[in-house]
Structure formats: structure tokens, C-alpha cells
Structure 1
Amino acid sequence: MSKEDKGIEWWRRTFQYKTGLGLTSELKAQYESDYSTILNKKQCIQCYKDRDWMLSYSPMIRFMTQRIKQISKDDDLKFDEKIICDVCDNTKSGGYHPDFGILLCQNRLRDKWHLEDTLSHELIHWYDQLKWEVDWLNLKHHACSEIRASNLSGECRFWQEFKRRGGFTFKIAKGQQECVKRRAILSVMGNPNCKDKEHAERIVEEVWESCFNDTRPFEQIYK
């Protein structure tokens, strides 16, 4: 089969899949497998492309990576080896692990600006780990870093929250604080040492004032 014929066949199967006309269960399963592979590859390429752009040009990302290098004991730290893209099976857009680095969920990122906020969030966790040796099973430690990451990363800026919460459901007054608190509670709820939502809310409240007002390594933040 020629390259052109293969292209026509792919489009034929795509049309069948979208409409359901003349598509057997076996062909549908094959198409879903092929489409998933192609989509994952495209997402992966775009994720790494956006990651590299941010590492080179984003003021926020460059600032955080510089601060991390300053306090890291790893003299040969390479961020392109510690920040990887992959498919995630949950609703998070990224994650940080002290032993491995940062995971960017290529299938959960809306665009490169969402990647920037996600990467900023995880870099703040990385900074906190190096600066204070965070015990991630300690709920107060976890809550404090989550508050700082959501507050400092930019993911709770007005426009981001406006889009995320469906327009005018977002309150302008104290919107930043509400967003940060909500996201911190959700994250702490996922900690194995957290009993329930009420437990997470109590822990976040206990550390709220000191952690929300701690803007290190920034002198101040603009909401």
C-alpha cells in the first residue's frame, strides 16, 4: 500500500470511528489503540518542546531553577533530566518526588501556559524540599508547601481561576486566598496520613497564616 493509500485508509477508519458506520468491534479497538499511540506521541513531543521553552525563556521558571541550583548539593544538576513528561492516570497536571524530580502530565496540560504554572508549582515544592527538608508524610509540612506552591506559582491568579471555575462563579474579593486554600486542602486530602476533608481543612488552617505570607524565594508576589 502506498503512502497516499495508507493516508486515505487512516482517514476512512477515522470517519468510521466518528460516525460508527461500518465499524466492527475489532476495527474500533484497533483504531482506539492507534489513535491513543499517535496522540500520546504528539502530547509528549509538545510537552518537551514547551518544557524546554520555559527553561530557556520563562522569567518565573528561570528564577526558580536558579534558586534551586544555589541551594542544591548536586553540582551537576540538569533540569532537563529531572523534569520529564508522561501520561498520567489521574486528574493532576504534575507532581514532584524528592528522589526523582518533576513529572509533567502531558495528557492533562491545556497549553504551554498551563505547563508553566504547573512547573512553577512543582519547582516550589523542590525548593522547599532542599531548603527545609520537607517530610511529605507530615501533614503540616505538606500543607505548608502546598499553600506556598499554589500561592507563588501563579496558578491562582485571577484569570486562571476565572477560567477554571467557570467565569463569574469566581469571587474577586479574596479570590487568591480561596483558590490557594481550596487547592491545598485537596492535595492534603490525598496524603495517606489524612483522615478526611475536615482533617485536611483543620491542618491547612493551622499553618495558613505563616505559610501564605511566606513568599521565599521571592521578595513579594503580585496577585
Structure 2
Amino acid sequence: MADSIPPKEEIVKPNPPASEASVQGFNWWRRTFQYKTGLGLTPDEKAQYENDYKYVLQRKQCQECYEYRDWLLKYSPTVIFMTQQIAKLNDKRTDVLKFDESKIICDVCPEWRSGGFHPELGILLCQNRIRDKWHLEDTMAHELVHYFDNLKWQVDWLNLKHHACSEIRASSLSGECRFMQEFARRGFSFKVSQGHQECVKRRATLSVMGNPNCKDEEHARKIVDEVWDSCFNDTRPFEEIYR
């Protein structure tokens, strides 16, 4: 649950545009140029433009996020496999809501994270942090590992060792620590020799640092190290690590 779903009060959404005409056609472009140059706009008009722009952008991001989500649920081997494994666990449990696409929602997130998992609410995909469809695939796979772990082992997310173990597994199994993904994030500072394990440790440590029971980075790193061997080598439900 490293990337937990933020409270609704933390997400600030713009109001709808004053009129549909204000975000279409010539009027939109005229306002865009005025905003960029600072010419011809009063402070109130500038504030309204900023609100309209954010509204249109968020609407576009939301639509794209759901389109990507639906495509991945149909065609991504990793996502399909994980949803099938979750469905099998669901069949054995009568005390939890059944998994379906409604448990994966898109919304705006106030922080750097690209997704989050909540044991009662499901998976949140951060539409404003997703770079492309393949980034979303890794994000969904990561959160689906958390979903799987929560069903299979009834994880106590405030227990740092439980939390760290699921973070290690999610970062390792999701594909987000493949070489090209790390290179895209870190460029030439990424050392191939450190590779997959270094990426998993780093990302798991960052996630555990967000746990309210974690004191600081040193504490998070210590917890990750304590559970590393058993959790990194546990690739269930996969037969091996997906790279």
C-alpha cells in the first residue's frame, strides 16, 4: 500500500468552464495566446482561463486513463494474468467484494505517485502522472500485486514488515524495474550492474517511508533489508520474475 489512495480533500479539482464556448474553437486559441503573452486579460479573466484549461486537461486525462485501463484489461498478458489470479482468490472468499473493473478508478493525484491501493476501496490510477499506456501497464500490475497479496495473506498495511514485503514483490513482479523503465526514469545515472534488485530496494524503501509507522529513510531501508530474502524470492503467482 505504498501508494495509498489520497483523501478526497487533498485533491483539488477545477470548476467546470463558465460556458462550453470558452473551451472550444477560436475563442479558446485567442485566450491561449492572451494568457501566454499576458496581453488583454484582466486578473479575473486570467484566473478563469487557468480554471478552464485545468478542467479540459483533467477531462482529457481521465478519458485517456480509462481507455488505457480497458485496453490493458483486455490485452495485457500481465494484467490479465493478475486479474485471473485475483478472481481465483475471490472465489475462495465470501467476506470481500468481488473484483471487477469498477475496483480500478482514474482520478487526479496531488503527489508524484502514479497509482495507489486501498484494501477497502481498490486501485487508484493517477491520471495526471501517467506517461503512456505502458507506464499505466506497470502501474496497474504493481497495484494488482498489492490486491493479490491483500486477498491471499490479509496484509496488515500498518505493519512495516508486511508493507515492505508487498512493496518488494510489487516492484519486482510488475515490470517497473526493467532496464528500459529505469533508464527512462534515471538516464545514465542508472548503473546496469546494480540492476533489478537495486531498483526494487530503492522503490520499496521510498514506499515504506510513506507509512505512518516509519520513522525515516534509514528505518525504511532497515525494514526492507530484514524481509528482503524471503519476499524478493517469493514470485507468486508468477513462476519467475517478469523482466
TM-score bin (small chain)? over 0.9
What is the match of residue 12 of structure 2? none
Task: State the secondary structure of the residue aligned to 1:54.
Answer: helix
Question: 1:76 Cα shift?
Answer: 7.4
Name the stretch that deviates more: 7-16 or 54-63: 7-16
Deviation track 1:101-120 (CA, whole Å, cap 9, x = no partner) reads 10000001001111100000
TM-score (norm 1): 0.95
Query: Which residue pairs with 2:227 in the alignment?
Result: 207
Q: Which residue of structure 1 aligns with residue 240 of structure 2?
A: 220
Once the two structures are superposed, the pairs formed by residues 111-122 of structure 1 within 5 Å of their partners are 111-122=132-143
Aligned residue number for residue 175 of structure 1: 195
What is the rounded CA distance, in whole Å, between the counterparts of 2:147 and 2:63 in structure 1?
24
Map of 1:53 onto structure 2:
71
Amino acid of the residue matched to residue 186 of structure 1? Answer: L
What letter corresponds to residue 55 of structure 1 in structure 2? L
1:37 aligns with 2:55: yes
The residue aligned with 1:97 is 118
Question: Percent of counterpart pairs with the same letter?
Answer: 69
CA deviation map 1:51-75 (0-9, x unaligned)? 0000000000000000000011269
Q: Offset at 1:78?
A: 4.5
- Which whole-Å CA distance do the structure 2 matches of 1:142 and 1:77 have between them? 23
Q: Partners in 2 of 1:122 and 1:114 — Cα distance?
A: 13
| Map 1:1-223 → 2, pairs under 5 A | 7-72=25-90, 73=93, 77-165=98-186, 167-223=187-243
What is the DSSP-based 3-state SS (H/G/I as helix, E as strand, rest coil) of the residue aligned with 1:108? coil
What is the DSSP-based 3-state SS (H/G/I as helix, E as strand, rest coil) of the residue aligned with 2:145?
Answer: helix
Q: Which amino acid aligns with 1:79?
A: D
Query: Across the two proteins, how many residue pairs are aligned to each other?
Result: 221
Rounded Cα–Cα distance in structure 2 between residues aligned with 1:19 and 1:153: 44
> Distance in 1 between the 2:222 and 2:185 partners?
25
User: Which amino acid counterpart does residue 138 of structure 1 have in structure 2?
Assistant: N
Distance 1:222 1:56, change over 3 A: closer
Query: Residues 158-212 of structure 1, C-alpha deviation per residue, up to 9 Å, x if partnerless?
Result: 00000001x2111111311111101111111110000111110110000011111
**CA distance in 1 between partners of 2:28 and 2:151 (Å):** 50
Question: What secondary structure is seen at the aligned counterpart in 1 of 2:164?
Answer: helix
Match of 2:8 in 1: none
Q: CA deviation at 1:81?
A: 0.9
- Amino acid in structure 2 at the alignment position of 1:140: K
Q: Which moved more, 1:19-28 or 1:197-206?
A: 19-28
Structure 1, unpaired ranges of 5+: none
Report 1 or 2 for greater relative contact order, CA contacts < 8 Å, sequence distance ≥ 6: 2
The two structures have a TM-score, normalised by structure 2, of 0.87
SS of the equivalent of 2:68 reads: helix
SS where residue 84 of structure 1 aligns? strand
Gapped regions of structure 2 (runs ≥ 5): 1-20
